[in-house]
Amino acid sequence: MKKVKTLSGNTLKQSVKNGGCGECQTSCTVGNQSCENPNR
């Protein structure tokens, strides 16, 4: 692509299939977290 640089693909949509392990930290901020699930 000549005019676009993608910083992030459709990671949110993909995580429907490979997320949800529930082992991440609670968050009092969600958007600032990283996920350590090796299956993602």
Q: Residues interacting with other proteins, by CB under 8 A?
A: 1-13, 15-16, 18-35, 37, 40
- We find the least distance from the C-beta atom of residue 20 to other proteins, in angstroms, to be 4
Q: How far apart are CA 33 and CA 24, in angstroms?
A: 9
- We find the least distance from the C-beta atom of residue 3 to other proteins, in angstroms, to be 5
User: With left for phi above 0 and alpha for psi between -120 and 50, is residue 7 left, alpha or beta?
Assistant: alpha
- We find the least distance from the C-beta atom of residue 13 to other proteins, in angstroms, to be 5
